[in-house]
Amino acid sequence: MTESILITGGAGFIGSFVCEELLRRGNRVRVLDSLIPQVHGDVERPPLLPQGAELIRGDVRDGDAVARALKGIDSVVHLAAEVGVGQSMYEVERYTSVNDVGTAVLFERLIDNPVRRVVTASSMSIYGEGLYENADGEPVQDAERKTLKDGQANWEPLDEQGRPLTPVATPEWKRPNLASIYALNKYVQERTTHIMAKPYGIEGVCLRLFNVYGPGQALSNPYTGVLAIFASRLLNGQQPMIFEDGEQRRDFVHVTDVARAFSDALELPQAVGETFNIGSGQDRSVTEVANALAEAMGKNDIEPEIVGKGRIGDIRHCFCDTSKAADAIGFRARKDFGEGLAELAEWVAEQTAEDRVSEARAELEKRGLVA
């Protein structure tokens, strides 16, 4: 099955790889993207965007632009979003406008320009803390850290008796625990997709992405993925900056696996009406990842800086239970992490990046968002 597919936010890091995968499968691809400077710098067409994709420069909140972009379109991949947990906590109007209002505009225009299917990008951030088990082996869905303060000895969530909780892989059935404006935005995008799709005869699917990495990330954007931030620091001879004690655990999934997941979610009938986790199924500590990237980049002499402070809205552990996506749509990550890091390091070596991480940290501290 080949279609004409619109990708909102398709000129970004993930969008460009989704474009490439959809074109490879014989589809026609149109991109609607506002090309914001924080992500793209000053460019007319990002170099990572495949030449075979048609680019319309426009804002997803502009109903006329969205309506034009939807003409002749069969299906939509909705990626357009402001991305960044920390920045969302003080750029509240901007994040809510682009992410939530933008999604509302898209679906309002879809009423008069219906498509077969919409696949919306959600985020693991909606879980807040991931799933834990208590000392009795019982699941704990709403783990919380009671305090975040400078230099605290224990960053781990505890149960009501003060006993440590054990993090386990997070499945889709875990209740959302929205710890940041960005998480709230992504949950609204999810619910808007499922609420609006069915009454208008559209098939809706949502993918909760874990930590996506790979070549093409916005290295000069200090609010992007953690691996891109670490790579930017290392490229400029600076220490990767790690909050808390560095033992927080995450799931890193390669962008080519994510692009395949979106493409499959557009095609497979069993995806309709569902929400899936998309991750690698392997968890790693943030310190482990920083050291592995330094080695891949030949920067073994630069050790990460363990800040010993927490950021409001950050969570301790969240990694991916991949079983639902594997069982329902056959999705399994294929890219080996070491191989993926080597590819990222090779690409980063050919780039220049403005290191704005300290500037971003100062913004958070000025607003009391670093404990």
Indicate if 182 belongs to the active site.
yes
Nearest alpha-carbon partner for 40 in 221, 189, 164: 221
Q: How far apart are CA 165 and CA 139, in angstroms?
A: 10
Q: How far apart are CA 70 and CA 290, in angstroms?
A: 41
Structure tokens belonging to residue 297: 């980049």
What DSSP line would sit under 21-44, residue for residue?
A: HHHHTT-EEEEEE---HHHH-S-S
Beta pairing class for 54-57 and 241-242: unpaired
- Report the run of H or E that residue 75 belongs to, with start and end: strand 75-78
Give me the catalytic one of 95, 182, 187, 213. Answer: 182
Q: How far apart are CA 178 and CA 288, in angstroms?
A: 27
User: What one-letter code names the amino acid at 107?
Assistant: F
Structure tokens belonging to residue 356: 């704005």
Q: How far apart are CA 85 and CA 179, in angstroms?
A: 9
Structure tokens belonging to residue 275: 């929400």
Catalytic annotation, residues: 182
